[in-house]
Structure 1
Amino acid sequence: MTERTSTGRFPAGLRRALVAFALAQFICSFAGSNMNVMITDISKDLNTGVQGVQLAITLFLLVMAALMIPGGKLTDVFGRKWCLQLGLLLFGSGALISAFAPGLGVLIIGYSILEGVGTALLIPPVYILTTLLFQDIGSRARAFGAISAMGGIGAVAGPLIGGFIAYAVSWRAAFVLQTLIVLAIVLLARKAVHDPLPADRSLPFDVAGAILSAAGLVLIVMGILVADENAAMTPALVIAGVLMLVWFFLRVRAMERAGREPLLSLALFRKRASNLGLITQNMQWLMVMGTSFVVSTYLQVIKGYNAIETGAVFTATTVGVLLSSVFAERMARRRPQRTLIMAGFAVTVAGIVLLLWLGSATGGIGGMIPGLFIIGLGLGGMLTPSVNVVQSSFGEDLQGEISGLSRSVSNLGSSLGAALAGTILVAGVDSANPDRAYLWAMAAVAGAGVIGLIAATFLPRTRPGAVV
């Protein structure tokens, strides 16, 4: 059982570890969304267009999604703390390179690749170590709640913080901030974080499986991304990606039958609650990144607002997430996780409807604020329950794999949000009616919310705190 002090708080060592984990999730989520409000500034500075910045953002999210499963597996081979530290080193190095990027190519190397690979290495250990260090269900739920809340805050506050930095200093300063926060996490984690399980470097690593799974995800998202420029390529790339993933799963089944250890165990897909939880996670993060990218791009490129004005609009979403996060733990003790997830999707979709209705009626920023606030309330209330559903479905022996799979699915949702909704918007930016493209893009985000709501209705009706 996780020890508590007489005041009911975690011991100092665990609190410091939790702070390190929460900051790590925050900075990775922040890195995924703060670029959205700097699209115009980066485009001018690096002599590229909206599509170039969209490519960098989507590739960052896609690299995370494609490598998160292998990253989770490597934690068993090299150790959770070792992977955490290496991931932080790569992330920080990528942020520093991005801060001084002379062109889009270098920005992609530093931001999209190095930060993406670093995130794929550091995030699985965060969730695995949280599961191992916070052993009873109540403590683990509180820890996951704090980490997930910081992830949500990082994602929705990224535009606000990034906009302020870009306006006050430069978009490059946002990457310097990332480097400094990573340095603080490294210093904090050195003493506060310990790995209760030994690494086993004799474990096999399925290199071919890692290549197949990564290639499948990359092809699918890239197929969506090129739809506005080469629509004929989209079906071919998506079909090729699906075939790669089918090949991957057939290979996994064959390896398990032969008694060999694959990259991912099929046991992870044999629990209905976990499968549905993964779907809700994917749709949630598609909505987070889709909303952030579409609204930010719309305000900057179509309406002509600067970075600080665009970021300020997202204060409403940040406040909504913070408010719902404050009450998340209390609600988790009183309501089943299924109810919280369903309510979150319903509220978020309602927020999108309100955003489009009031925004269209008033034609100004003020009309967007109520809808963005409601969106924040919905998102903040359902992110943690989905994580709990998935992580609590398995024992410690599968935590490495399920953490990698869970984060991969979430980041795939983020990359799909930037690719799918972003492509719909970008394709109509130069059209005679760009506002219509904005409406269609946000309608696509709302459609993802409906899918998530339907999936959530099939989650088991477990009592609060129960293992699913």
Structure 2
Amino acid sequence: MTSPGVTRTTATAWSALVPLALAQFICSFAGSNMNVMLNDMSRDLNTTVHGIQVSITLFLLVMAALMIPFGKLTDQLGRKVCFVLGLAVYGVGAIVSALSPGLGLLILGNSILEGAGTALLIPPVYILVTMYWRGIADRARAFGIVSAAGGVGAATGPLIGGWICSSISWRAAFGFQALIIVVILILALRIKDPRPAEPEKPYDLVGAVLSGVGLIVFVLGILAADNNLWLCLVLMVGGAAVIALFFWWVRRREAKGKEPLLSTRLFRVRVSNLGMVTQNLQWLLLMGTSMLVASHLQVVRGYDAIETGIIFSAATVGILGSSLAAGALVKRFSQRSLIVTGFLITGVGLLLLLIVGSIPDAWAFAWGLLAIGIGLGVMLTPSVNLVQSAFPEEQQGEISGLSRSISNLGSSFGTAIVGTVLVLNVSGPHDQYVLALIPLVVIAIIGMIVGGFLPGRAALSPHSTTAATAS
């Protein structure tokens, strides 16, 4: 359904894409820029490198836990209101982080406030892109720009963050984030909401609490694996139980004719389910690789923030080039082919990183990072486009929250798994690096297999759940 007042693919729509893409950039930047500041931040805040890694993981976890509840809020408050409110919360978090005297306030500012702000502002980004552009090629081009911004944000986080950290201070990196937020807020004034807000629409508060708690407890279990295996198992089983209770609650509300936080109808679309799995694995690989290589270069090889960031520029080049080509690629190849190829290229890049782990020259890492950047850029846009295009406008709030939650859960898994392996008691630093890379290679292979089950080009059309379920 096309809402009045919005002419799609007009100059107004394309200009609105600028603040949306910038928002995705800065949120992805926040998830990776701290990876090159581990030594500086741990020393200044009188904590450990692992403490900073936990803060990074908690930031991603808060995003994942709140993305579904806050995605649903876009119906009640409106897309633009949630976007602006999220930017404001994020900006406050960046300022608190910049001024934090210790790890506790850093977690409050970065992990909680920036995480919550991101969860508020990201669902509107994907909802608005889906509503503004209807054709597959146009939407792929728009999502390509947003995905490129996100990928480049994650990939340039180490480079820009490293340069700021080395030239000024790690605190200035958070000041940089706050400055970008102000710019986005000014640009956001031109955004028009395609659909009116529905404040009278009921909100499933119980479902929101259950979904958030379940995801948080489950990922905390992964984090606990480095020092207490029993606590790890208890938390993961407990988190899974709460998530199961959440789905029981959802089905109960639907049986009573009440609107749940997350409709079970979202899980009946085969192509969307497969697309969300690929999104989860893509962000797991991106954030897991970023943390692993950055930690190895700094902690083991003694590189400073700017040197580490420069090496990561190879991934930036790869992601930027392949993401911006998304609009042209989707015209020539099926989205299934792009996703499978993307995982294949990413897997090759991971194998290159595995091979060069013992080579003294750290620049050897650039080739693997370049391949990973190209692979991720090739498949980020098709995965998002598959999921968002499978649902009509009235379900965009739900599916955007679910999709972004699953993607950020993948980021949390990546940093949690790598961070946990890096602190395991193995025989040496190089063994830790190799041990952490092996599961990432396996995940790339799994992603390739999952992508192979996606439908081909003929089975896909935007906003068509019937077509999306075709094999």
Q: TM-score, normalised by structure 1?
A: 0.96
Q: 1:317 aligns with which of 303, 308, 315?
A: 315
Q: Which residue number corresponds to residue 404 of structure 1?
A: 401
In 2: Cα distance, 1:189 partner to 1:323 partner? 26
Give yes or no for contact 1:332–1:464 (8 Å, CA) kept in 2.
Answer: no
In 2: Cα distance, 1:323 partner to 1:196 partner? 31
Q: Which residue number corresponds to residue 446 of structure 1?
A: 441
Residue 456 of structure 1 pairs with residue 451 of structure 2:
yes
In 2: Cα distance, 1:3 partner to 1:207 partner? 35
Residue 245 of structure 1 pairs with residue 240 of structure 2:
no
Over residues 200-253 of structure 1, what are the superposed CA-to-partner deviations in whole Å (9 max), with x where a residue is unaligned? Answer: 111111111111111111111110101111122111110001111111111111
Residue 433 of structure 1 pairs with residue 428 of structure 2:
yes
Q: Which residue number corresponds to residue 7 of structure 1?
A: none
Residue 383 of structure 1 pairs with residue 380 of structure 2:
yes
In 2: Cα distance, 1:330 partner to 1:138 partner? 8
- How much does 1:3 deviate? 5.5
Residue 225 of structure 1 pairs with residue 220 of structure 2:
no
In 2: Cα distance, 1:453 partner to 1:421 partner? 21
- How much does 1:359 deviate? 3.3
Query: Superposition pairs for residues 345-424 of structure 1, below 5 Å?
Result: 345-360=343-358, 362-424=359-421
Query: Superposition pairs for residues 177-326 of structure 1, below 5 Å?
Result: 177-190=176-189, 192-326=190-324
Give yes or no for contact 1:149–1:325 (8 Å, CA) kept in 2.
Answer: yes
- How much does 1:256 deviate? 0.5
In 2: Cα distance, 1:418 partner to 1:434 partner? 18
Give yes or no for contact 1:342–1:457 (8 Å, CA) kept in 2.
Answer: yes
In 2: Cα distance, 1:309 partner to 1:321 partner? 20
Extract unaligned runs of 5+ from structure 2. 463-467
Q: Which residue number corresponds to residue 123 of structure 2?
A: 124
The one-letter amino acid of 2:144's match is: G
Q: Which residue number corresponds to residue 465 of structure 2?
A: none
- How much does 1:313 deviate? 1.0
In 1: Cα distance, 2:361 partner to 2:423 partner? 21
Give yes or no for contact 2:250–2:261 (8 Å, CA) kept in 1.
Answer: yes
In 2: Cα distance, 1:301 partner to 1:330 partner? 41
Runs of 4+ in 1 over 6 A off after TM superposition: none
Residue 170 of structure 1 pairs with residue 178 of structure 2:
no
The one-letter amino acid of 2:244's match is: V
- How much does 1:464 deviate? 9.3
Give yes or no for contact 1:425–1:437 (8 Å, CA) kept in 2.
Answer: yes
SS in 2 for 1:130: helix
SS in 2 for 1:227: helix
In 1: Cα distance, 2:174 partner to 2:302 partner? 24
In 1: Cα distance, 2:176 partner to 2:457 partner? 42
- How much does 1:139 deviate? 2.2
Distance 1:215 1:207, change over 3 A: same
In 1: Cα distance, 2:327 partner to 2:71 partner? 27
Note the aligned Cα RMSD (angstroms). Answer: 1.4
In 1: Cα distance, 2:419 partner to 2:412 partner? 10
The one-letter amino acid of 1:228's match is: D
- How much does 1:13 deviate? 2.1
Over residues 408-461 of structure 1, what are the superposed CA-to-partner deviations in whole Å (9 max), with x where a residue is unaligned? Answer: 000000011000122101224xx5411111111111111221221111111011
In 1: Cα distance, 2:140 partner to 2:458 partner? 14
- How much does 1:364 deviate? 2.2
In 2: Cα distance, 1:204 partner to 1:398 partner? 15
In 2: Cα distance, 1:326 partner to 1:80 partner? 25
In 1: Cα distance, 2:341 partner to 2:383 partner? 12
The one-letter amino acid of 2:147's match is: S
Give yes or no for contact 1:349–1:449 (8 Å, CA) kept in 2.
Answer: yes
The one-letter amino acid of 2:167's match is: A
In 1: Cα distance, 2:427 partner to 2:130 partner? 52
Moved more, 29-38 or 438-447: 438-447
- How much does 1:134 deviate? 2.1
Give yes or no for contact 1:127–1:403 (8 Å, CA) kept in 2.
Answer: yes
Give yes or no for contact 1:336–1:464 (8 Å, CA) kept in 2.
Answer: no
In 1: Cα distance, 2:424 partner to 2:303 partner? 20
Distance 1:209 1:3, change over 3 A: closer
Distance 1:161 1:173, change over 3 A: same
The one-letter amino acid of 2:432's match is: A
Moved more, 52-61 or 449-458: 449-458
- How much does 1:462 deviate? 2.1
Residue 135 of structure 1 pairs with residue 134 of structure 2:
yes
In 2: Cα distance, 1:396 partner to 1:466 partner? 14
The one-letter amino acid of 2:451's match is: A
Identity of matched residues, %: 55
- How much does 1:133 deviate? 2.0
Give yes or no for contact 2:50–2:419 (8 Å, CA) kept in 1.
Answer: no
How many pairs were matched up? 459
The one-letter amino acid of 1:451's match is: I
The one-letter amino acid of 1:433's match is: G
- How much does 1:465 deviate? 6.9
